[in-house]
Structure 1
Amino acid sequence: MTDVKVIMGSASDIDIAKKVTKTLKEFDLSYEVEVISAHRALDVLKESIEKDDAEVYIGIAGMAAHLAGVMAGMTIKPVIGVPVAGSKTGGFDALLSMVQMPKGVPVATVALNGGENAAILAAQILALSNEKLKEKLVNYKKEMREKVLADDKNLEEI
């Protein structure tokens, strides 16, 4: 079974998907990446989700951005949405499409173009049953803390 399945609404979302996969690799998580439009290839999306071959799903889409919500409607597994800022509204339409889900169909939504955070959230979900991954996340947080402290120290020397 794959840890994370990343589905983009179109190939134009590839840069965000690369942020996701780069971060998943840092945590040694297995993943698959697909391009499937919820609007133009619903049957293909349904087949992909029905395989039930991932623990967590990440849906990346801009504009109307119904992809993550449709995915969430097809599975009981966690779905993380990454709204893409690229439309005339700056991505606000994509963001609202993901966060304004009906009761019973949640999509955990990260920031616009927030591929890294989607991957980290997926890792945190998977770490609930994986001690080695939990340790990696704890170390990741420690490294972030150390960087902030180093930045502060360097600031004091200005």
Structure 2
Amino acid sequence: MTQPKVGIIMGSKSDLPVMQDAADVLKALGVEYEITVVSAHRTPDRMFTYAREAAGRGIKVIIAGAGGAAHLPGMVASLTHLPVIGVPVKSSNSIDGWDSILSILQMPNGIPVATVALNAAKNAGILAAQIISTADETVVKNLIAFKEDLKKKVEESAEEMGK
């Protein structure tokens, strides 16, 4: 197995059905990843260790998903120089997901977190692959093929509908 380039973390195992989409698209695009649970509130020492050691282990991008108050992406971003992509997750204790969206989106200047739409872990995976592609020609080719496939599906749908 080659070294993971993307770290996928989530605040709770209950976030896995959403975050699995990031793993699936990264796999399809040929990007190695690791996936685990890291809670900003319940395991802050684990979060500190993960964020501080990720780059040294070869991670290039971190995707962090969290619901509710959603502090994980921002706290991780405050501890690393790596790009962090936040995935707001609509959880059982969420206020229609808005609390998660705003907690991740409204970061103070100096601690950016790229934020995708609610439950849009697939987009986070694609964005991570695009970042990785700046230094990996194989991922570039896989992304081009992926986007061509998206285009083809739209054109096929339009054709089925009679233009």
TM-score range, shorter chain: over 0.9
Residue segments in structure 1 that go unaligned for 5+ positions in a row? none
What is the distance in 2 between the residues matched to 1:115 and 1:103?
24
Whether 2:83 is the aligned partner of 1:81: answer: no
- Pick from 132, 141, 148 the counterpart of residue 126 of structure 1: 132
Asked if the contact 2:5–2:61 (Cα under 8 Å) also holds between the matched residues in 1, the reply is yes
Q: Which amino acid aligns with 1:69?
A: G
Between the aligned partners of 1:45 and 1:114, the Cα distance in structure 2 is 22
Equivalence map 1:9-158=2 (5 Å): 9-51=11-53, 52=55, 53=57, 54-86=59-91, 87-156=93-162
The structural deviation recorded for 1:139 is 1.1
Q: CA RMSD for the aligned pairs? A: 1.1
* CA displacement, residues 91-142 of structure 1 (integer Å, 9 cap, x when unaligned): 0000000000000100001011101101000000000111111111111111
TM-score by length of 2: 0.92
Give TM-score scaled by structure 1 length.
0.95
Give 1:155 shift. 0.1
Secondary structure of the residue that 1:2 maps to in structure 2? coil
CA contact under 8 A between 2:78 and 2:111: conserved in structure 1? Answer: yes
Worse overlay, 95-104 or 135-144: 135-144
Distance in 1 separating the partners of 2:43 and 2:143: 36
Identity within the alignment, %? 41
| Number of residues of Structure 1 aligned to a counterpart in Structure 2 | 157
- Separation in structure 2 between the aligned mates of residue 30 and residue 136 of structure 1, nearest angstrom: 13
Q: Pick which of 95-104 and 34-43 moved more.
A: 34-43
Following TM superposition, the consecutive aligned residue runs of length 4 or more in structure 1 with deviations greater than 3 angstroms are none
For residues 144 and 41 of structure 1, what CA distance do their matches in structure 2 show?
39
Which consecutive residues of structure 2, in runs of 5 or more, have no partner in the other structure?
A: none
CA apart distance, 1:49: 1.5
Deviation at 1:90, TM superposition (A): 0.8
Q: How many angstroms apart in 1 are the aligned matches of 2:149 and 2:16? A: 28
